[in-house]
Amino acid sequence: MSNWQKTSEGDFHRKSQHLASVGVTPQKPSASTIFVDPAMARRVLAKNTHNRPIKESQVVRLMAEMTSGRWKYNGEAIKWSIDDVLLDGQHRLTALARMDDNFPAIPFLVVRGLPADTQSTMDQGTTRTAGDQLVLEGLLGSTDSRIVAGGIRVYLEWQRMAFFGDQKVASKISNPEVVAWAAEHPVEMAILQDLASQRLRRVKCRPSVTLAVLLQFRLIDGEAAREFSEGLYSGAGLQSGNPILALRDRLDRIREGKVNVSDRDLIGYFVMAWNHWRRGGNTSKLQMPRGGPGRASPSRGGLTHVLLALRRSSPCSSR
């Protein structure tokens, strides 16, 4: 009989209990596919006496995957020891347990009969990154895949205004979300690949942030964005008062001072420089709204206005 047969929770537990009652220890682990619903997940977790600390951000991410339909049955197993202790799968089961009772059951591969000491050896393999996934899906070449994937994450966080709130539990952009967005946005992907092949590392800013911002500028006005980018890369011909020069100076000071600045605030500086430049204005200093970097409580209202102002910019505004 195939190890991949479907079985119920009750059947599976009864088999394990029978083996234990007659003193039989499985010679090798067994595997079956089980459909688990939220109520079943809660019961399993209630019996688990070997809980490890939960990473809340991971649970939130998994819940988002499940509710959005991006959750895929990929053969990654829920693992139990010979002694019926849950070894691996706590975060997946916790995410499912938090769903409403009417949430549909999800198939999991369940492996039982593992030695108890194998838990310390789990997750030893190299984690597949979003960049790896983009390459495997044929959406991107292997060159600069990590930077492009990072740029997509920052871009999506920006578009969703996910920079505010409790960052410990905020829903992070998952690998499947990155891949799904890339598949649905071929024009943006072409722009990202073009930008990634240029001189991003000359900009004294995290490449993923620079990439996300320059993508948005390209989508607003491609010709203007190329001119802005060239000044940002080289600094050639920039006169005092040019907003691009002010941005370069600000990024230089951040890098030289080893100041820890969030992606949100870095984007804010880019947006302020872009908007000044598009209006044909002069500025020698980019000042974050009250409550910006270095303040205990960043002002959501002021910085939100800055981050959204770019979207309201007219593609035909004068420079």
Per the structure, the count of domains in the chain is: 2
pLDDT at 148: 95
Domain span at residue 240 reads 130-312
Domain co-membership, 15 together with 153 = no
Last residue of a domain, one of 59, 91, 121: 121
Q: Residues 51-83: pLDDT tens digits?
A: 666 778 888 889 988 998 888 887 788 888 888
Same domain, 211 and 250: yes
Q: Which of 121, 144, 171 is the last residue of a domain?
A: 121
Region 214-219: what's the mean pLDDT? Answer: 94
Q: What is the largest CA-CA distance in the chain?
A: 86
**Burial letters for 39-73: b for 16+ Cβ neighbours within 10 Å, e otherwise?**
ebbbebbeebeeeeeeeeebbbbbbbbbeeeebee
Mean pLDDT of 296-308: 46
Q: What is the pLDDT of residues 217-247, one digit of tens each?
A: 999 999 999 999 999 998 888 888 899 999 9
Point out the domain boundary residue: 71, 88, 121.
121
Whether residues 111 and 149 share a domain: the answer is: no
Looking at residue 122, its pLDDT comes to: 57
Whether 188 and 92 map to the same domain: the answer is no
**pLDDT, tens only, 109-164:** 888 888 876 665 555 445 678 888 888 788 888 778 899 999 999 999 988 877 76
Domain-located, residue 319: no
- In this structure, the answer to whether residues 159 and 300 fall within a common structural domain is yes
Q: Structure pTM?
A: 0.63
CB neighbourhood size of 314 (10 A): 9
> What single-letter amino acid sits at 144?
D
